[in-house]
Each structure stands twice: as C-alpha cells, then as structure tokens.
Structure 1
Amino acid sequence: MTKRAIKIETLDGTAPAAIFTAEGHAGGQSRPGVILYMDAFGPRPALDGMAERLAAAGYTVLLPDLFYRYGAYGPFDTATAFSNAESRDVLMGMLGNTTQDMTIRDSAGFLDALAAEGVTGPVGTVGYCMGGARALNAAAAYPERVAAAASFHGGGLASDAPDSPHRRAADIRARVYVGSAGVDKSFPPEQSARLAQALREAEVDHIIENYIGMAHGWAVSDHGVYDPEGSERHWKRLLSFFEESLG
C-alpha cells in the first residue's frame, strides 16, 4: 500500500491531504475514487489504516484534513479529548467554525485532486462522526461526480440546522447508506425518521441501518468505544455498498 502526501488548493487556503493506492498501481487510472471525511480528531494512523483498507479493495482514496484553516493541531487522545477541558475547547472551536458550507466548497478541490490522479469516473464518499453529514452534503453538491455516499455514526444528518443534509435530499443522485449507532444523541430516532422521509420523497436509493449495541464511534479503531465485531460488520456493509455502486 502506498500513501502520498499532497496539498490541495481551495478557495480558503491549502489543505493537506493524503492519497492512498494499492502497491504497484500507478495513479488512479481505471480505479474508482473515494473521499474519506474524517471524524473530529483529524487525520491520524487510525484513519490511515481505514484508507489503506479501502485502497486494498480497489479504490484510490483521498483523506483530506478538514481543519486545515487552523494550522497545526493535535494529536488528540481520542479516549480523553472531550473529557479534558483544554482539548475539548480546542476541538469544539474547530468543529463549530468548520461549517458544512466550507467543506462543500473544499470538496470541489478534493474532487479535482482525485481527477489529477486519473479518477475521472464516479466517486464515493464516506464520513465518520462529523464527516458523515459532509459525505452526504458532498453528494448533494456534486451529483454529477458522487455516485455513492455513506455515513457511519454521523451526527446532525436531519437536524434543524439550515445546512442539515436532509434539506438537500432532492439534489442527491447517489446511492446513500447510513449506519447509525444504537443510541446516539447526535442522531436520535426522530432525525433518523426525518432523514428517511426526505430521502424517500426525493426518490433516493438509500439504506438506514441501526447498529444495535454500538456506541458513537464504534467503527474507528482508536476510539474508546471501538467494537471489533461491529467494525467488521461496518466494513462488510461499506465495501459491498461501494462495489455495487462504483464497480
């Protein structure tokens, strides 16, 4: 597996990112692309490992730093970052000030970066935690490019916020998969029902699956609530979803 650091010029600056491909593969020719939208703790070895697994399955994977506007930060201890007052304040500040609209704008550059790697066909998006809503909003903003969008333990997918993804369901042409934690305050049952209704009314091909017994963050290996069996289930669903949607 190869990882290559790149820089992506956006309307707001320069975003560090990494491209992952399988060994022996030059560029992204004939390989579908995937954008992996990070969780709140930023790019790190755990997310690199996830990108590598997607690359091994046949994809050219882009992992961008969505917090690039803040310069250097972290690394954070995922087990204590939100219980420690100092790191919590830093994280909440970055989260609150990195808007959906910012990531939507940035995603044009992300797609261009994949195109520069030879990925000119359909692209998949997948996001975790804060990245879940961004993966869906990217599908709505770039329907001509994004053919599959997945969210795992994503929060605020059908909230009262004006940038909630469910409000843009009519713009989505991609297939959508949402895997929610069994009990998750950031995506409660009423939001799940609201998202399902919006996607049905927009005639979006979608699945919303509830992972009973899993906690928010279960799919990512360095989270304190990581569940190996639940994570493998998520991988089985995600890889099947991308294979069916992207080829």
Structure 2
Amino acid sequence: MAKQDIEITTADGTARAGLFRAPNGVTAGIILYMDAFGPRPALDGMAERLAALGYTVLVPDLFYRKAPYGPFDAKTAFSDEKTRPKLMGLLSGTTQATTIRDGEAFLDALAKHGATGPVGAVGYCMGGARALNAAAAYPDRIKAAASFHGGNLAGDNADSPHRRAAEIRASVYVGTAGVDRSFPPEQSARLAEALRAAEVDHVIENYVGMGHGWCVPDHSVYDEKGAERHWKRLETFFGEALGG
C-alpha cells in the first residue's frame, strides 16, 4: 500500500500524517497512534499491513506542535544522553488532552479520504492510552480500540483511560507486556474492573515473556513470534468489530 503524506488542520496547527489507503470501496478506517519515537518507517510498515487487511489507515504525528524534531533511533533514543532530553521534552509537551482534542480532526481526515464507515484505533506505548481515550471521547465514531504495551492505562493521573470507561462504547483489546513497569498488575486489575463495571466488551491479555515494545520492528525488544501473535489478535479484533 503506497503511503500518501497529508496535512491535517487541527485546533492547534497543522499535523503531518501518513495515509495508507484500503482498496476501492472499503469504508472502514483505523487511526494508528504512534509510540514515543514518532512516525518512521517501522510504523509505516505496520500501517501498510493493516491497510492490506482492508482498512484505510492514518498515522498522525502526535508531536507536530514541536516539529521539526528527530528522527530518533528506537533502540538508543532513551539511553543516548543527547537524544533523551529531546525525547522527554516531546513526551511531556504532548498530553492526553491535546491528543484527544486532535481526535476530531483525525477522524474527519479519514472520512475525507473515503473512510466514512466504522473506525478503529490502535496505539503502541504512549499511543495505547490515547487509543482508549479517543474511544471514550468519540463513542459514536470509534467502534474498536486496541492498546499494545500501553502505559498508565489505569494510573493515578486524572487523564487515565480507566476513569472514562463509562464513556466507551467501542470494543476494547489490551495486550500487555509480560513485565511492564508502566502497566503493573494492579493497574491491569483496576482497568479490568472499570471496563467490567461499565459493561464494555473487552479483553486484557498478558503476553508472557514479552518486553515493553515487543510489537514494533525497530524496537530493541522486538520479538517476531510475539509480534505475529499480536497481528493475529488484531486482525480478528478489528475484523469482528469493524467488519473488515
């Protein structure tokens, strides 16, 4: 699937995004919420794979307010003393609230490019919480939301997704790393209880032995077997929820 570079006008400026078109006649769309290292070839490849399943996929730059920046090497960005402060600045300056506010523009961009049917969201790392919060913020438009190695999905912060469980109408899938300090067992239990109490159709699955970041090909802990398992789950999940 060929990538089309587009620009999306938001309330705060102009966000660059990659668009990966599904075959003609397909109206289901997916927003892929990036991990902490920003849009790059690894995420493009993942978006292409989703598009090949029959979806129009949008990969927006969530750091656009701070552009230009990077690029970052996912294997070394946090350990490199030169890039770590820059990356941390981008992360601290990109809040859940700003990404939620951008959601309407992202959804409208999908519709503009033919994805006028059901929409799903999937996020990795920092994108995981954003996918769930997007489902809560736009319940009439987002029908499925997935998080893989997402952090702080049920933390103490006010913008933690579990606090908005009652607003979610989408189906939810959460794939967790076997051991992940950003999403410890107590948060998993808290998220499960919030989703259950809100009667949200959901699955929380623990990928034992996988590290935080295992799904993304250029990550230092990428695991091919675990990544393929995630793809099988994602294909079934979106297929059932979006009719893909």
Which TM-score band (shorter chain)?
Answer: over 0.9
Larger deviation, residues 135-144 vs 30-39: 30-39
SS at structure 2 position matched to 1:135: helix
Partner of 2:66: 70
**Could you tell me how far 1:30 is from its partner in structure 2?**
3.2
**Amino acid in the other structure paired with 1:78:** A
Shift of 1:71: 1.2
Equivalent position of 2:118 in the other structure: 122
Kindly state the Cα deviation for residue 173 of structure 1 after the two structures are TM-superposed: 0.1
Kindly indicate whether the alpha-carbon contact (under 8 Å) linking 2:26 and 2:54 is maintained by their aligned counterparts in 1: no
Mapped partners of 2:53, 2:117: distance in 1: 17
SS in 2 for 1:85: coil
2 CA distance for matches of 1:161 and 1:208?
21
Q: Which residue of 1 aligns with 2:196?
A: 200
Q: Does 1:19 align with 2:56?
A: no
> 1:1-247 counterparts in 2 under 5 A?
1-22=1-22, 25-26=23-24, 29-247=25-243
Alignment partners' CA distance in 2, 1:129 and 1:30:
28
SS at match of 2:190: helix
Q: Deviations over 1:132-176 (max 9, x none)?
A: 000000000000000000000000100000000000000000000
State the SS of the aligned residue for 2:46.
helix
* Aligned 8 A contact 2:148 2:174 in 1: yes
In structure 2, how many angstroms separate the alpha carbons of the residues matched to 1:86 and 1:30? 44
For residues 48 and 119 of structure 1, what CA distance do their matches in structure 2 show?
18
Per-residue deviation, 1:31:
2.6
Moved more, 89-98 or 227-236: 89-98
Cα distance in 2 for residues equivalent to 1:170 and 1:130:
22
Letter in 1 for 2:237: F
Superposition deviation, residue 213 in structure 1: 0.1
| Structure 1 segments unaligned to the other structure (5+ residues) | none
Q: Give 4+ residue runs of structure 1 displaced > 2 Å after superposition.
A: none
User: TM-score, length-normalised on structure 2?
Assistant: 0.98
Output the amino acid matched with 2:87. L
Q: Deviations over 1:106-156 (max 9, x none)?
A: 111000001101212210000000000000000000000000000000001
Q: Which amino acid aligns with 1:128?
A: Y
Contact 2:124 2:148 in 1 (8 A): yes
**Is the 8 Å Cα contact of residues 27 and 116 (structure 2) preserved in structure 1?**
no
Q: Percent identity?
A: 72
Number of residue pairs aligned between Structure 1 and Structure 2: 243
Q: TM-score, normalised by structure 1?
A: 0.97
DSSP-derived class of the 1:55 partner: helix
Distance (Å, rounded) in 2 between the aligned partners of 1:61 and 1:217: 21
- C-alpha contact 2:135 2:168 (8 A) present in aligned 1: yes
State how far apart, in whole Å, the 1-side matches of 2:77 and 2:111 are.
35
Aligned-partner SS, 2:82 = helix
Q: Is the 2:26–2:55 contact (alpha carbons within 8 Å) kept by the matching residues of 1?
A: no
Alpha-carbon shift at residue 2 of structure 1 (Å): 1.6
What amino acid maps onto 1:6 in structure 2?
I
The separation in 2 between residues aligned to 1:77 and 1:166, in whole angstroms, is: 31
**Alpha-carbon separation, structure 1, partners of 2:26 and 2:36:** 32
Q: Which runs of 5 or more residues in structure 2 are unaligned?
A: none
